[in-house]
Amino acid sequence: MVDKDGNQLGVVGLSEALRKSREAGLDLIQVTEKVDPPVCKIMEYGKYAYTLGKKEKQQTHHQAGELKSIRLTFGISEHDMQTRAKSTEKFFKKGSKVRIEMRLKGRQKALGQHAREKIEQFLGIVKQTTPIKIERELRRMPNNLSMIISKQQ
């Protein structure tokens, strides 16, 4: 058992633990039931519930991940592609999905096949280090090409 100041009281009977919590004007909270005897704390229940909710919210936030964006240009060099591939790996390690975008301006819109080849080349670089899963196929928008990829589980 642990008191309100964080001091460990050791193994204490239920009646004594309840008496100590009443003397302190606080609640007796069972922290875990997985061990024998169960671990309890003397503290305010509202504060305990708040911290539990906060931890739970933080865990679900990290699990969901985010959608990060990598923007390629029409005339991107090999080295720049490798740099962006490293950034993509970092995003995957954090559990995020990645949107790959290539904006097309002016006459570049007529050369869509060249843009697709650049994106395929980028995907090849990423696949060398990390297995990927295509969440959304490559789509042609009026001014760009985009697709969403994630790390394969």
pLDDT in tens, 59-77: 765 555 688 999 999 889 9
The hierarchical CATH code for the domain 65-151 is 3.30.110.10
The hierarchical CATH code for the domain 14-62 is 3.10.20.80
Q: What are phi and psi of 81, to 5 degrees?
A: -65, -40
Pairing of strands 27-32, 39-43: antiparallel
Residue of 1 and 150 predicted with greater confidence? 150
For the chain, what are the domain ranges?
A: 14-62, 65-151
Query: What is the arithmetic mean of pLDDT over 133-153?
Result: 89
For residue 28, give the 3-state DSSP assignment.
strand
- 65-151 matches 14-62 in CATH topology: no
In angstroms, the CA 22 to CA 36 distance is 24
What does the pLDDT read at residue 101?
94
